[in-house]
Chains A and B, each alone.
Chain A
Amino acid sequence: MGSAPAQIPTSFGHELRACLRCRLVKTYDQFRDAGCENCPFFKMEEDHERIVEVTTPNFNGIISVMDPSRSWAARWLRIGKFAPGCYTLAVSEPLPEEMQHLCQEERVQYVLPKRM
């Protein structure tokens, strides 16, 4: 286990939201309190309105990645470099453009979700 794990969701229902960039799944409250471990530049813990912008309640499937670097599934989903934690397999919405620009400024990659 490389780095410290991200927060583990405290519930399994509708409160769950997924980060639109790294697909980390946590509850709204967790995002509000601690932000996203992989995307600290979103500063969700500081700007709560951003949580709505950069996370979504619409996601599909959950994958708990215990050992990202050695997990094939994590690599396949391209979350192998992120902190261990619960992720979602796919989000359907793109990050708002403004936030995409932020990613660019921060020089982090953002991949648009594939349209099915």
Chain B
Amino acid sequence: MSQYSDDDYSHEDDSEMEDEDEEDEYEPRSSRKGRSGKKRGRSNSDSDGRRGSKKKSSGSAFIDWEVEVDDDVEDDDDDVDVEDGKQQLKFGDFSLCFIVSGEADLPNEDSDHRRQYYQRGFHPHEEDVDELEKRTLERLSTKYAKDDYELDDVNDVDQQALLPSVRDPKLWLVKCAIGREREVAVCLMQKIVDRGSEFKIRSAIALDHLQNYVYIEADMEAHVKEAIKGMRNIYANQKILLVPIKEMTAVLSVESKAIDLSRDSWVRMKLGIYKGDLAQVVDVDNVRKRVTVKLIPRIDLQALANKLEGTENVKKKAFAPPPRFMNIDEARELHIRVEHRRDPMTGDYFENIGGMLFKDGFLYKKVSTKSIAAQNVTPTFDELERFKRPNENGEIDFVDESTLFANRKKGHFMKGDAVIVIKGDLKNLKGWIEKVDEENVLIRSEMKDLPNPIAVNGRELCKYFEPGNFVKVVSGIHEGGTGMIVKVDQHMLIILSDTTKEHICVFADHVAKSAEVTKGVTKIGDYELHDLVILSDFSFGVILKLDSEAIQILKGVPDSSEVSIVKASEIKYKIWKKINVQDRYKNVVAVKDVVRVIEGPSKGKQGPVVQIYKGVLFIHDRHNLEHTGFICTRCSSCVLAGGNFKTPALVPPSPRRFQRADMGYNPGAGGRHQGGRGRRGDDHLVGTYVKIRLGPFKGYSGRLVEVKDKLVRVELEAKIVTVERKAISDMTDNVVATPQYNMGSQTPMHPSRTPLHPCMTPMRHSGATPIHDGMRTPMRGRAWNPYMPMSPPRDNWEDGNPGSWGTSPYEAATPGSDWGSSTPGRSSYRDAGTPINNANAPSPMTPSSTSYLPTTPGGQAMTPGTDLDVMSLDIGGDAETRFIPGILVNVHKAGEDRNPGVIRDVLPDGSCVVALGHRGEGETIRATQNKVSLVCPKKNERVKILGGKYCGSTAKVIGEDGQDGIVKLDESLDIKILKLTILAKLVHE
């Protein structure tokens, strides 16, 4: 309309010229008309508007302007009139014809339909008018309903227009016999058809999900009553309820449960011995509502043979045979008749045994669609693995990944997720999610030539991860676990679990990126990970793994390492009691003591005792890859480690040893002195100067006067107070330790990890206190004793969370230090790879400086006179590591904190020319190598590798795992795991 009026105005200005124009244009216009007249209505071009204005002025004021398109049409007609009377007549006929038919047959027809009709009828294609006319007439002769339906362009807006109003008939709820709803609806239909227009009901609705009722649509309740009178299954005397207008649409909006039974989709059986089993749809017969599924047969061949022979009565089996692939040869051996037949429908060959069809070991079973569950079927990894069985040709049937994605939850993809296209033309395209719509996901890819963003169907996408990513499993049986991806195989990921240190296979779909570290599920009901439990058969064991379905238990059978998987209900109770036992040499062993296994299959293993029961020890050796490191052994096969106590000793025992063992193996346990062990060796604390770190006396320092279990009494400079033992730290140690370990700066590296080991920090400080001055004795003993394996604290280091302990490596790895290479025992410790923190104490004899020295047996013990200040060891495991110019280091100067600096040059004598400052902007000094330590690289930082095979290469740190750094080599982009101690942070330049 508006356009018309605009045009009107614009053309009224030069209306005088119009007649002329008309004359001038007559010829060209008529010719144009013949060619493209049909186009005009669609395009509403300027010329149309112009013609409209002309026509108006030429006296067609009768035209009803309400219907603009009609006008347009008439306008055309008029023009045609001018040009060709015959044509005009035909159009006129046509429109008349239409209107007549419309009015006669379609009383409810509104002008909208007509308008659409015109539009479509006139302008669908470029074709001859004659042709159009012919076709139009043809169409008019066919059933009207068809044509009208065609015009129903269904969209939501149109649907809105159909919302019920007060003028519409109402829906009445009528009670009927249960299960007869459809019948009632159909019978009502039949009744009305038979009896003609006697009844005034409009429709009857039977919903599948509503039993006992049907809806009847009528204007009045009386009409309903009339219609249902005499109906067998309708309770006519029951009250008829009116459905409120607002609820009418809800009645009709049934959710058509799309039974998406397509080939290759995964289903679960609902009935019989295969109940719960995974099956794959092979064929769907929608007519008979049956599907052919492929599953792993649960057939007891012997029983089958007996049955077929008729020797044994068919008994109802108490349990289903385990799923196993059918072995035809085995069946033949049992004289089971196997027919090799060709299926006439599919043309495939099947082995037919007693009516069951087998192919490639799978059972092909025809079942009713009702006996399978297709909703929310998520096959587990193991199940799918089992389905991957090579067929006759040795090919592995390709399991289409996309079949797995049918049951994704909403919100599966999030903005920013890295994804890969797994299907279609864009297969293997990687990108990031921009936006998630209902079905489609907009992704942004790196490809330059592609338009960004691209809309991809969510089903064609899979989350994408790279090795080194830390992820959390968000669904499936491993749900809750975290770990690092070590391998990506299409949509399968192999993850090194944080909990078990085992590889787990999961679908990329089931994980999400996460910096979190969890132990998976650590508690179910009353049972926690590593609890000692008694099973229903009175055997006992330690819980190794808990998940929602099963509990894995290492049985308390010495040296057998038998693991059983039980249900929570099979556990009788858990044992709280902590018992002490004696080792081979009658040393008392308690929980948390470190023992070494000296005989049996686990010989040589060692670790802290986790549980003790009936003379059986459960030891946790983190180097043991089986059973998450747990070993079960007899107490008599073990010796208490960490000293020579009551062993064929060379050196008299030292009471401190226990202390060491205790602290060394119990990094995260908070109160280390709990349980039986606390008292021993505490006396040495008395007399030391401590500083109180927590509580109301925080900051006070004083002399320790008494040790009482968890409490100590400290004589402050002012007075003696009682504080918790945890709350103190050795003053001398503290002074050094705080800057040294610089925990504060480390924490942000692994924000999610640190909280897991909250007690790490205090441990270091306070832990150091009790041992320091007593350490010498065992140390020396150890140094002399070649039988002593690695010293326990080493484990401590490795157990330590990589974040908070990360500082350690950079104090290490200083080859060529004054005394390091002269250590006799050193070589034997190499593999241990113990990072030594350099206690930068003022005097070698200072207790604190030796705090951590148990790990440096050779050097420390041998060189009491050595300048401990400069102590550092080559313990890198990768042998010699040498400083290289360009790396960031910390320089230690006596009496000062560490100063960062950049190595500018390494002199032949091993000392370095270091430019102070993070970028080497400060003064240049010369420092001996032992005053220089590496700066531990953090994630995403560039490093130079100082030792090993990749010595000299640069890399980027992509993660850390304990003492190891995960790095991506710049050259090959390979991912390597290297000791942090040989990774030197590069300077940003």
Q: Which residues of A contact B (CB under 8 A)?
A: 1-3, 5, 8-9, 12, 14, 38, 52, 56-67, 69-78, 81-86, 89-93, 106-109, 111, 113-116
Contacts and interface: CB of A to CB of B under 8 A. Distances in A.
A92 B259 contact: yes
A42 to B, nearest CB: 13
B566 interface: no
A102 to B, nearest CB: 13
Contact of A108 (B149, B190, B209, B255): B149
B206 A72 contact: no
B94 to A, nearest CB: 17
A92 B189 contact: no
Interface of B: 105, 107-108, 139, 145-154, 159, 162, 164, 168-169, 171, 181-183, 185-186, 188-190, 192-193, 196-197, 199, 201-209, 217, 248-249, 252, 254-259, 286-287, 289
Top-10 shortest CB links A-B: A64-B189, A71-B202, A72-B168, A90-B256, A92-B256, A81-B145, A92-B258, A66-B192, A64-B204, A12-B182
Contact of B199 (A60, A66, A77, A86): A66
A115 to B, nearest CB: 6
A59 B259 CA distance: 10
Contact of A70 (B202, B248, B249): B202
A109 B201 contact: no
Interface centre among B152, B189, B286, B287 (most CB of A within 10 A): B189
A8 B194 CA distance: 11
B146 A5 contact: no
Contacts of A76: 159, 162, 164, 248-249, 252
Contact of B203 (A71, A81, A116): A71
A61 B205 contact: yes
A93 B286 CA distance: 11
Contacts of A63: 185, 203-206, 252
A1 B201 CA distance: 11
Contacts of A59: 256
19 contacts: A12-B183, A12-B186, A61-B205, A62-B206, A64-B188, A64-B189, A65-B189, A70-B169, A70-B202, A71-B202, A72-B162, A73-B202, A73-B252, A78-B149, A86-B189, A107-B150, A109-B149, A109-B151, A114-B256
B286 A72 contact: no
Given A107-B139, A108-B146, A115-B258, A67 B202 contact: yes
Contacts of A74: 202-203
A58 B289 CA distance: 9
Nearest to B261: A58
Contact of B205 (A89, A90, A108): A89
Nearest to B147: A107
B150 A86 contact: no
Residue of A84, A106, A107, A115 with most chain B CB atoms under a 10 A cut-off: A107
A59 B209 CA distance: 12
A32 B820 CA distance: 96
A113 B255 CA distance: 11
A58 B255 CA distance: 12
Given A72-B168, A72-B169, A62 B256 contact: no
B256 A91 contact: yes
- Of A64, A81, A93, A111, most buried by chain B (CB within 10 Å of CB) is A64
A90 B254 contact: yes
B795 to A, nearest CB: 57
B714 to A, nearest CB: 72
A107 B120 CA distance: 12
A36 B587 CA distance: 93
Contacts of B206: 61-63
Nearest to B189: A64
Nearest to A7: B193
B205 A71 contact: no
Contacts of A107: 139, 146-147, 150
Contacts of B196: 1
A71 B630 CA distance: 75
A62 B169 contact: no
B576 to A, nearest CB: 53
Contacts of B154: 78, 109, 111
Given A72-B168, A72-B248, A107-B150, A113 B286 contact: no
A64 B185 contact: yes
Given A62-B182, A108-B150, A73 B205 contact: yes
A57 to B, nearest CB: 6
